[in-house]
Amino acid sequence: MAVGRIGVIGDIHAQHVRLASALAALEERGVELVLATGDIADGAGSVDECCKLLEAHRVVTVCGNHDRWLLAGTARDLHEATVLADLSENSRAFLARLPRMVEIATARGTALLCHGLGPNDMAKVGPDDFGYALATNDELQNLLRNGDFRWVINGHSHRQMVRPFPGMTIINAGTLRPHSPCFLEVDFEQEVVLVFEFAPDGSIAPAPSRIALR
């Protein structure tokens, strides 16, 4: 069944308090589905609590590069790196079964949920990329050339963005980390994205900004 209105949560990085607030707000707004772009691991909060929240709210979640690194035991010298041994068995199992990509049927075409671009969780497109940077971005060009997806919903860059390309629009959900934390509501039927930002005190700003999907 195609969905008309969804919530999207970007890179989480153990921000369990903001995650709980975002999920509660999206539930209150009655979205049909909530998506998360991964990178649950590596942050100052509780990865265990994040996994519990995502599972309890049935959030469709993909694996980010930080989650992959955690499970492989690599890049553990990162600032605020999560220690795998400190996680519960349920959290480890939850992270281990996260897919790289998920296809979502929307009221305005098929969306691809991924962390980076397609199967490459390290690839990205930024709002300042133009010309040569776009032409040499193999993952982006492959997605555009194949034409399988009307929407790509991703994270990784931590920069919230709605950027149209010929036949495909990238919706980047940003991050829950302290620098510019936010989450999205995407209304495919009304063709609008609402951006909900967190205030410094952790509350959600009352008036979301609106970005047209056209």
What are the pLDDT digits (tens) for 147-173?
999 999 999 999 999 999 999 999 999
What is the model's pLDDT at position 17? 98
CATH code for the domain of 81: 3.60.21.10
Local confidence band at 179 (pLDDT 50, 70, 90 cut-offs):
confident
CA distances 152 to 140, 166, 204, Å, are 10, 13, 25
pLDDT for 16 equals 98
Quote the pTM value.
0.97
At residue 158, the pLDDT reads 97
Structural domain of 62: 5-212
**Structure confidence at residue 66 (pLDDT):** 98
* Number of domains comprising the chain: 1
How are strands ordered across the β-sheet holding 33-36? Answer: 60-61, 33-36, 5-9, 182-187, 192-197, 209-212
Residue 206's pLDDT is what?
87
Q: Is the pLDDT of residue 214 over 90?
A: no
